[in-house]
Amino acid sequence: MLSVNDLSITYQATQVLNEFNLSLVTGDIFALTGDSGSGKSSALRFIAGLDEVQSGQVVLDGKQLSSNGVHNIATELREIGMVFQDYALFPHMNVKKNIAFGIRHLSNNGQKARIKELLLMIGLEGEGIEKKYPHQLSGGEQQRIALARALAPSPKLLLLDEPFSSLDKNLQEQIVLQVRGILKKTNITSILVTHDKHEATIFADKVGVIENRQLTVN
C-alpha cells in the first residue's frame, strides 16, 4: 500500500503542489494527468526520493520513505522501479545486461533465470533478443525491455513517466494495453504520468488530475 500525505512542492517561491494526497492499495494502477507544468513529474520524483526535500510524507508498505521534509530512505533503497521516457535503456549494454542491471547481486544462474522469466512475461523470449543492443530494437520492444529492467528486482511500486509518448501512434495503444496486462499479472502498484487522457483511461484503474495545485481522483 502507498500513501502520499500532504505533499507540497515549492520551487523558488512558486508553489506547484499544495497538499497532494494519494492512497493506493497493492496492485492499483493509477494514472496522474494534468496540464503541462501542473506538477505531475515533480510528484513522481518526490515519491522516488529524487528531488530535494519538500514537505509531505510517503509511506510504502508500512515503511516511511519521506517525512517532515526529510527523505528517510535513499532512492536506490526504496524498492521503487522507474520507467521514464528519456532515460530508457543503457545504449552501450545489450538486453541481457540492461535487464540484469538491478539484480547484479544475484548469482549468474539467479540472474539468468530471472531474465528468462521476465522476457517470457513481456513476450520477447527467444530470437536471440538477449544479445541485441537497444538500437536494434523497435520503440515498443525497447519500452518492454525497460519495463523488464524496472521489474527485475521485484519492486513494490512502479513509476512510469510518459513512457509511451514517443511511440508510434498505431503501436501506442497496443503497448499500453500490453504493459497494463503485465502489471496486472504481477500485481504491482503503479503510477503512470501522462498528459494523454485516453491513454490514462485505458491504462489505469483510477485516474487523477492535478488542477490548481491539487489532485482530484475520479
Minimal distance, residue 121 CB to ligand ATP, in Å = 29
CB count within 10 Å of CB 211 equals 12
- Report the alpha-carbon distance of residue 136 to residue 3 in Å, rounded: 40
For 103-107, the CB contacts below 8 A with 24+ separation are 103/152, 103/153
Grid cell at residue 143:
519500452
Residue 155 binds ligand ATP, judged by CB under 6 A: no
Minimal distance, residue 88 CB to ligand ATP, in Å = 16
Report yes or no: 48 and 80 within 8 Å, Cβ to Cβ.
yes
Minimal distance, residue 146 CB to ligand ATP, in Å = 18
Report yes or no: 98 and 130 within 8 Å, Cβ to Cβ.
no
Binding mask 18-47 for ligand ATP (x = CB under 6 A): ----------------x-xxxxxxx-----
Scan residues 40-99 and list those touching ligand ATP (CB under 6 A): 40-42
- The residue from 16, 118, 182, 183 that contacts ligand ATP (CB under 6 A) is 16
* Residue with smaller CB distance to ligand ATP, 132 or 195: 195
Report yes or no: 152 and 103 within 8 Å, Cβ to Cβ.
yes
* Residue with smaller CB distance to ligand ATP, 11 or 90: 11
Residue 170 binds ligand ATP, judged by CB under 6 A: no
Bridge partners, residue 29, by sequence: 190
Interface residue list for ligand ATP (CB under 6 A)? 11, 16, 34, 36-42, 195
